[in-house]
Structure formats: C-alpha cells, structure tokens
C-alpha cells in the first residue's frame, strides 16, 4: 500500500480562519495533515520572523478532522520553521499555505504572509504552494475552488517542483460556473500607490492610517492580473533567488576598484 504524503498546512489569517479550514479539508482527502498556523491574524507580515520575543506552541482541537493541529504565537514563516525543526518528525512532502482571504497576485506577493510561509518551506527544500482568493470577506465562498486545489496539489506531488521554486495560486472572485480554468502566468507589473491619512487623537498626538490604491501598469495578456480579471485561476511560479542575473555583466564593467 502506497504511503500517504505528509502535508504541512499553514496560513497568515490565523488557525480558525475559514480559508485554512477549507484547505485542511481538501488536504485530508490527499494525505496525512499537520497544521501549524498563527494563533491570530498575521496578514501583511511578509517574511518577518520572531527574533526579539519568545515563541509559544499549543496543541489544538478545532474540529473532528483527522489532522494534528498546533497554533503558534509566531509569524507564518515562524510556523514553517517550528513545524520543520520542532513539531514534525520528518520532512513533509508538501507545504500548502492559505487559503488567504484576499489577493496575493502581482506585487502583493512581496508583502504576503501566506506566500512567505510557502517561500520559507521552499527554502527548507519542501515543495510548496500558496493559495489565495480575491475576496477579503470572512464569509468568502471557497467551495467552487476545492476541486482545483486538489488538482493543483496532486500535480505538484506527482511532478515535483524545481529547486528554489514555489507556486503562487490566486482564485478569482466568481461563482463555480464562471471559473474558466487555470492559466500559468507571469507576475504582472503593478504596485500600490500609497497615501497616509493623517489624524490626531484626543490628546493632540498625530497618527496615520495607511490607504492607497492598486495600480496595474501591465497590459499583457499573460499575467496573473489579466487571468484573474478574465475569470481564470492564476498560477505563477515564484523564485526566491532575487538576483538580477541579467545585470551582473554590466555591473562588473563599473569602476568599483579605482
């Protein structure tokens, strides 16, 4: 009998978020599941790790599923580190992160705790996928995407991923019948144009709320933003080697040693 894969599940919205509960349910149909997730929301934490505070881990029983569950006081990246080096007795066959409540397409991947957990797994040599839905609502409907999650996950388990690569998967905010399929894409050239809303508290001290708008600067029809707007699920292979290899030769022509 073939041994079931060991799947690590994490997220950045917290261990009780509806998105991760859906992901756990789907993963239970594929393998043996261990959940290590933050005990509170950690959205926008990026790849932060805890170095100036203590970390706590607590065994949890949240539903009647067969999975083992642990909440931590740390960030999403902390969760993967703790799982790999303290909680699990072997290297997992896969790490899945999400399902995030909100988009992690294009530049959002830089800020995302969901994707940082997947990237941390990749750094540890574990194949990893980050899943996100373009709907920030706590009552978001994840049901239409369960079959697609299983398909993508099984493809990664069967085919593997190249070293240094993880997948960033985003689901459009559409109903089941409106999902057009899956597109493998590149990350769109887009960014946030930020503004700060400056206010004063009752004591006269200034404080700020971060606001702004998302601007897509990319008109290509091979991007994640285009795919999502058209009702497709976007799959972007993400590498965590940030070296701009194409400019090394030019930089070597500069006069650094004069």
DSSP per-residue string spanning 137-173: -TT---GGGHHHHHHHHHHHHHH---TTEEEEEEE-S
For residue 176, what pLDDT is reported?
Answer: 67
Residue from 3, 22, 9 nearest 141 by CA: 22
Residue 13 has pLDDT above 80, yes or no: yes
Burial of 45 (0-12, 13-18, 19+ CB in 10 A): buried
The confidence band for 258, taking pLDDT boundaries of 50, 70 and 90, is low
For residue 180, what pLDDT is reported?
Answer: 93
Q: Six-digit token pair at 249?
A: 């030769």
Average pLDDT over residues 219-241: 94
Average pLDDT over residues 20-35: 97
The confidence band for 204, taking pLDDT boundaries of 50, 70 and 90, is confident
Q: Indicate the SS3 state at residue 133.
A: strand
Element spanning 63, H or E: none
Q: Report in angstroms the alpha-carbon separations of 248 from 241, 242, 244, 252, 254.
A: 14, 13, 7, 6, 10
Element spanning 79, H or E: helix 76-82
Average pLDDT over residues 9-15: 95
Domain boundaries, the chain: 6-187+220-251
d(CA 11, CA 99): 7
- Give 29 or 64, the one with higher predicted confidence: 29
Average pLDDT over residues 56-70: 93
Q: Indicate the SS3 state at residue 43.
A: coil
Residue 96 has pLDDT above 80, yes or no: yes
CATH number of 6-187+220-251: 3.40.1210.10
Q: Indicate the SS3 state at residue 248.
A: helix
Average pLDDT, the chain: 92
pLDDT digits (tens, 9 = 90+) for 180-200: 999 999 999 888 777 888 889
d(CA 187, CA 104): 10
Q: Indicate the SS3 state at residue 110.
A: helix
The confidence band for 50, taking pLDDT boundaries of 50, 70 and 90, is confident
For residue 232, what pLDDT is reported?
Answer: 96
């Amino acid at each position: 009998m073939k041994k079931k894969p060991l799947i690590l599940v994490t997220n950045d919205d917290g261990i009780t978020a509806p998105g991760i509960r859906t992901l756990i349910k789907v993963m239970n149909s594929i393998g043996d599941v261990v959940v290590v997730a933050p005990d509170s929301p950690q959205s926008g934490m990026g790849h932060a790790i805890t170095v100036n505070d203590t970390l706590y881990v607590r065994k949890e029983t949240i539903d009647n599923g067969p999975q083992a569950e642990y909440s931590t006081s740390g960030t999403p990246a902390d969760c993967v580190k703790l799982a790999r080096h303290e909680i699990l007795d072997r290297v997992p066959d896969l790490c899945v992160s999400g399902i995030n409540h909100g988009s992690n397409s294009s530049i959002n991947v830089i800020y995302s705790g969901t994707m940082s957990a997947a990237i941390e797994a990749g750094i540890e040599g574990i194949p990893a996928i980050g899943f996100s839905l373009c709907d920030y609502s706590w009552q978001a409907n994840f049901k239409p995407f369960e079959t697609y999650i299983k398909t993508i996950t099984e493809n990664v388990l069967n085919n593997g991923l190249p070293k240094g690569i993880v997948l960033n998967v985003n689901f459009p905010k559409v109903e089941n019948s409106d999902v057009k399929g899956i597109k493998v894409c590149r990350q769109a050239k887009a960014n946030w144009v930020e503004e700060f809303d400056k206010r004063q508290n009752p004591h006269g001290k200034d404080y700020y709320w971060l606001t702004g708008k998302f601007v897509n600067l990319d008109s290509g029809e091979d991007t994640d933003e285009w795919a999502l707007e058209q009702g497709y699920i976007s799959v972007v292979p993400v590498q965590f080697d940030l070296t701009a290899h194409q400019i090394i030769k030019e930089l070597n022509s500069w006069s650094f040693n004069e």
